[in-house]
Amino acid sequence: MVWIRGIDEIPISLSYKNAITVEKVGLATNALFNLDKGDSLGLRGPLGNKFKILEGSTVLLIGGGIGLAPLLYLADVLKDNGTNITTLIGSRNKESLFFDDELKKVSKVFLSTDDGSFGTKGSVLDLLKNSIKDLDVYDMVYVCGPDRMIRALLDLFDKKNILEKTQFSVSRIIKCGLGICGSCSIDPKGLRVCRDGPVFYGTEIIDSEIGIYMRDHAGVRCRL
């Protein structure tokens, strides 16, 4: 949990062992961009769970947008364990791409952009269908990205009967970070992203609200 004085406290995953990567999407993240060298912020954690790692395995990483950040750190850890890694990166356009060069150093990388300005044109789901012929060769699939992407992949993996070997890092509005307030709970099981997650196996969230609706800061259902 990253605290910006006088603004807010928000959940951000590590992209390196000692760094976070931030996208301007709201009041708190904009405030982070306005900090100068020597300014301070608050850090609380680590909280929640983490990706489960199989040593010496063959894995597939799928990242969309800022969801790529925690996968970069994961890739570094996996590479040290002798893991064979393939990474799929989805972005809005060429200008929005990041970490592709870093990930190419530790994995085989496929890229897609919504507007076709770089790599394959289309979503990361299109990229998956066009680039990966056999999902059964992977011992684990790790995913982080927006809810719509997660929902599309959940449904695809369900049809392929491989949900038990998929892990998803889920993003929600988190307040306490300790599993007390319930603001980050997911319907219908009441799974708390801050305490039970943020990483869930596909089997845990296939029937959840993810990709269907979210909740705002007051807990009211809202459109994605």
pLDDT tens figures, 146-156: 999 999 999 99
Counting beta carbons within 10 angstroms of the beta carbon of residue 221, is it exposed (0 to 12), middle (13 to 18) or buried (19 or more)? exposed
Please report the pLDDT score of residue 224 as a whole number: 81
38-68 confidence digits (pLDDT tens) = 999 999 999 999 999 988 899 999 999 999 9
pTM score? 0.95
Q: pLDDT at position 54, please?
A: 85
CATH no. for 58-222? 3.40.50.80
List, in order, residues 6 or more apart from 128 with CB less than 8 Å away.
62, 88, 153, 156
- Residue 88's nearest CA partner among 58, 52, 63 is 63
Q: Give the separation between CA 175 and CA 182, rounded to whole angstroms.
A: 9
List, by residue range, all CATH 3.40.50.80 domains of the chain: 58-222
- Per-residue model confidence as pLDDT tens digits over 99-155: 999 999 999 999 999 999 999 999 999 999 999 989 999 999 999 999 999 999 999
